[in-house]
């Protein structure tokens, strides 16, 4: 199982597919993970991240509360 650290402040920089912190160029997000290589509108990418992040509870949770345990791993940051 792939688990990636979640930093609530990096939703616009984190790849919504693989979780890698990528580069934001203008309005486009570029995943720096060569195996992923996702290129996506940065707002859409951020929205996808927020959708699965617990910090947005109540706002965008419409899929039955899919559990995301990785948020607790950010304590070391």
Return the number of the residue (6 or 31) whose C-beta is nearest Zn ion.
31
Q: Which residues within the stretch 43-72 sit at the binding site for Zn ion (CB under 5 A)?
A: none
Q: Which residues of 6-44 are buried (b: 16+ CB within 10 A; e: fewer)?
A: beeeebebbbbbbbbebeeeeeebebeeeeeebebebee
Sole window of 27-35, 42-50, 55-63, 65-73 interacting with Zn ion (rule: CB under 5 A): 27-35
Asked if 38 is part of the footprint of Zn ion (rule: CB under 5 A), the reply reads yes
Residue 32 tokens read as: 């720096």
Q: Is 15 a residue that touches Zn ion (CB under 5 A)?
A: yes
**Residue of 5, 12, 18, 54 that binds Zn ion (CB under 5 A):** 18
Q: Would you call 24 helix, strand, or coil by DSSP?
A: strand
């Amino acid at each position: 199982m792939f688990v990636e650290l979640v930093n609530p402040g990096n939703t616009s920089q984190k790849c919504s597919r693989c979780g890698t912190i990528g580069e934001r160029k203008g309005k486009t997000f570029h995943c720096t993970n060569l195996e992923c290589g996702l290129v996506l509108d940065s707002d859409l990418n951020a929205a996808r991240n927020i959708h699965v992040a617990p910090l947005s509870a109540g706002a965008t949770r419409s899929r039955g509360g899919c559990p995301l345990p990785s948020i607790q791993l950010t304590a070391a940051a």
